[in-house]
Structure 1
Amino acid sequence: MDFAGAGNSVVVGVDGSPGSQRAVGWGAREASRMALPLILVHGFGIPDAFAGEAVPPGDWLSAHELHAERLLAGARRQAWRIDPDLPVTVEASLDGSIPLLVKKSDTARMLVLGSAGRSALRDLLIGSTALALAVHGHSPITVVRGGEPASEAPVVVGVDGYAPAEPWIGLAFEEAAARDVELVAVHVWNDFDLAEAFGFVRDPFGTAPREDAEREVLDRSLAPWRVKYPEVSVRAVAERDQPRTRLLDWSARAQLLVAGSRGRGGFRGMLLGSTAQALIHHSECPVLVARSPLD
């Protein structure tokens, strides 16, 4: 599956928080750029106390339905201030936020969540939600972090280079093309990677042969997408470091950071999962995480 162009809507989770409001704005601009409808959803969930009942008490349900209606109406007005012609639909559900968004991911091009800003506890909860959606959802997910980036800032994508499929590279090219900005493709390597993948000990007299090999890996990963998106200016960067360190550094200079939730299989996939988690919690710009279809 190639994520680029796969879904038919941008879906934003709405809860009325400042982070949610930023997500609505970001999602509306994304939907407008991509000529896609925007779907605003709020899942208030049935509390565990009512889990054994067919429906929750009427007064509880009425209060939460009214609250959801007001939240979604405000979010729709916000989206229309950005693009008055944008097709916007709203949906409130008895489902909790995670099952609702997983369900919507079946037909979404992208799910969008807001970060909590200065609330560490709330940010932890949102990060957990984002990671759950990255694992169980069927579309990419964007967590809107940081302030308003400069319009000329690049899109940055993390390139593993050894995964069987990296559809998020195509998604990053599409995002850069839609914004008419440079794409920075970052491939990070270290000695542990080499020893594990190839059983090879680095030449103690220098790193040049390794750098050449890693540059070739990066160029090979980008080659088909350069052909598909010839209008996108690409800066290819191969660096020796830890992936999360380099990508977080680049997030301070980017308008969007794109990464995959899969590594090179097995425990490597788990390690990249920790990188995705670090980006979701600490990126200084919106971060888009896409899972490999082989997961």
Structure 2
Amino acid sequence: MPVATERSIVVGIDGSQSAKAAAMWAGREASRRGLSLRLVHVFTMPVVTMPGVIPASEGIRESFESRGLEWVSEVREAVLAQYPELVIESAVRQWSPVAALIQESVRASMVVLGSRGLGGFTGMLVGSIAVALAHHGHCPIVVARGPQAEGGGPVVVGTDGSSASDAALAFAFDEARLHDTGLTVVRTWSELLDHGALRPHFLDVDPVEIEGAERLAVEEQVAPWRDKYPDVPVEVVVRKGRPVRILLESAEGARLLVVGSRGRGGFEGMLLGSTSQALIAHSECPVAVVRPAVPGGDHIITEL
């Protein structure tokens, strides 16, 4: 099965309304960027433990494939009704959903998923599957929050000075430019921790000094991007507290929340365990996870 056309936007389709909303969000992005859209449904064959009791495996496979084709066709018609000039590809694949999406991400501009789903993508954004996509995907992953997927407002990005947050900044600035909106850059700090390590003599630290140093650091990190995108209005927010709470508060009414796939300091482990689930479960806007480019890339997964 061929994978995505170079730089297309890939959407995981599973028959849910959440996936349909994600496809509409992705269609708008593809239209603005002049890219094609690729709708992908992946199904996994169930393990047969009682031969003769259920239909033969080929019949099951055909049934799963037929259902997937129907779902993809329905979403394709809905997207084309809104964006009739959009070039839309589609694929229905029998494989592991994670492996298939990682392979699709090699050539894609981004992979977009719904916040909840059915079928092969059930639980796609919780637990080990989300971690696998964050660690091994080759392009940004966007979780399009259903009813808020059409939202406006600024783009919000979390940064901690790491290479992952540099990649997130690049994506966020480009998104703000495309949508002619402002950008809010968020940095958090703690009196107890300094970039993930316990501060020496943390009982004697000066909060004003810490916040000033963090603001200076984020301004220095953002400066090259301000020069590159002079027409994007930028607000820098430096706050003491837990990253998830502050990001969610900052993203209220936002168009998009952008974070790196890994980091240091306040955003370390942003996409692992309960932190990622909290962002995805409670964000009122789509969430983009951006992984920094790795020279040579990961090993590309091939079709089984």
Quick check: 1:261–1:269 contact (8 Å CA) kept in 2? Answer: no
Q: Which residue of 2 aligns with 1:20?
A: 19
Select between 197-206 and 217-226 the one with higher mean Cα deviation. 197-206
Q: Which residue of 1 aligns with 2:30?
A: 31
Greater fraction helix: 1
Q: Which residue of 2 aligns with 1:259?
A: 259
3-state secondary structure, aligned to 1:126? coil
Q: What is the root-mean-square deviation in Å for CA atoms of aligned residues? A: 2.8
Select between 9-18 and 155-164 the one with higher mean Cα deviation. 155-164
Q: Which residue of 2 aligns with 1:45?
A: 44
- The alpha carbon displacement at 1:132 in A equals 2.4
Quick check: 1:257–1:287 contact (8 Å CA) kept in 2? Answer: yes
Deviations 1:42-98, CA, capped at 9 Å, x for gaps: 001222339xxxxx7221122122111111111111111121000100001011221
Q: Which residue of 1 aligns with 2:301?
A: none
AA at the equivalent of 1:270: G
Consecutive unaligned residues of structure 2, counting only runs of 5 or more, are: 1-5, 50-55, 299-304
Select between 164-173 and 82-91 the one with higher mean Cα deviation. 164-173
Q: Percent identical across equivalent pairs?
A: 37
Aligned ranges for residues 91-110 of structure 1 at < 5 Å? Answer: 91-110=91-110
Instruction: Provide TM-score, normalisation by structure 2.
Output: 0.83
CA shift in 2, pair 1:76/1:164, >3 Å:
closer
Quick check: 1:149–1:254 contact (8 Å CA) kept in 2? Answer: no
CA shift in 2, pair 1:19/1:141, >3 Å:
same
Q: Which residue of 2 aligns with 1:155?
A: 155
Q: Which residue of 1 aligns with 2:207?
A: 207
Q: Which residue of 2 aligns with 1:143?
A: 143
d(CA) in 2 for partners of 1:151 and 1:20?
Answer: 16
Quick check: 2:9–2:111 contact (8 Å CA) kept in 1? Answer: yes
Consecutive unaligned residues of structure 1, counting only runs of 5 or more, are: 1-6, 51-55
| Count of residue correspondences | 280
Instruction: Provide TM-score, normalisation by structure 1.
Output: 0.85
d(CA) in 2 for partners of 1:187 and 1:145?
Answer: 23
Deviations 1:204-237, CA, capped at 9 Å, x for gaps: 4842211110001111111111111111100011
d(CA) in 2 for partners of 1:183 and 1:251?
Answer: 11
Q: Which residue of 2 aligns with 1:171?
A: 171
3-state secondary structure, aligned to 2:238? strand
CA shift in 2, pair 1:280/1:205, >3 Å:
closer
Deviations 1:150-184, CA, capped at 9 Å, x for gaps: 75411000011245762111000000111111100
